Amino acid sequence: MADPTRPSLILDLVVLDCPDALALARFYGHILGWPLESGSGEDWATLVPPGGGVTPETPDGRPTLAFQRIDDWVAPTWPGGAHPQQFHLDFAVDDIDAAEPAILAAGGRRHVHQPSEDGSFRVYVDPVGHPFCLVQ
């Protein structure tokens, strides 16, 4: 049942802090196959998901990724440390082993710590240190 006191919110963007917004957007754009939105630059860059993203007219569209330059950027440490991750992204794939070469070629790297005992996911790190997973 709808709650009339709750505002109607639609997830639009997930924004990642980083030292160079355009460079990190290009990495994620490459591995996802999503183009950059026009006007993207070093301070702020946005990707365009298939279908153009979420709008008031298409609230069930895909949220997109945006990237924001932070002057004093510090990469997260994971699985622990002084700057633990605050969140991570999971990307669904049919075959992790088949997807891995594209991740590595784009500048990602496999994380040393791999907590999946059954191989259902694998942890990677983007070029500036954000952990993300490929999930099968």
Helix (H, G, I), strand (E, B) or coil at 52: helix
Per residue in 87-104, pLDDT (tens digit) is 789 999 999 999 999 999
DSSP alpha helices (H): ranges in the chain?
A: 21-32, 96-105
Q: Supply the range of the domain harboring residue 121.
A: 85-136
Task: Give pTM, 2 decimals.
Answer: 0.82
Confidence of residue 12 (pLDDT cuts 50, 70, 90): confident
Looking at the fold, whether 91 and 136 belong to one and the same domain comes out as yes
Residue 80 belongs to a domain: no
CATH number at 41 reads: 3.10.180.10
Closest CA to 10 of 64, 87, 67: 64
Question: How many folded domains does the chain comprise?
Answer: 2
* 102-116 tens-digit pLDDT: 999 999 999 999 999
Q: Are residues 18 and 67 in the same domain?
A: yes
Question: How many angstroms separate the Cα of 111 from the Cα of each of 8, 28, 122, 131?
Answer: 38, 17, 8, 8
Residue of 82 and 45 predicted with greater confidence = 45
114 or 7: which leads in pLDDT: 114
Q: In the listed set 72, 96, 125, which residue is the last one of a domain according to the structure? A: 72
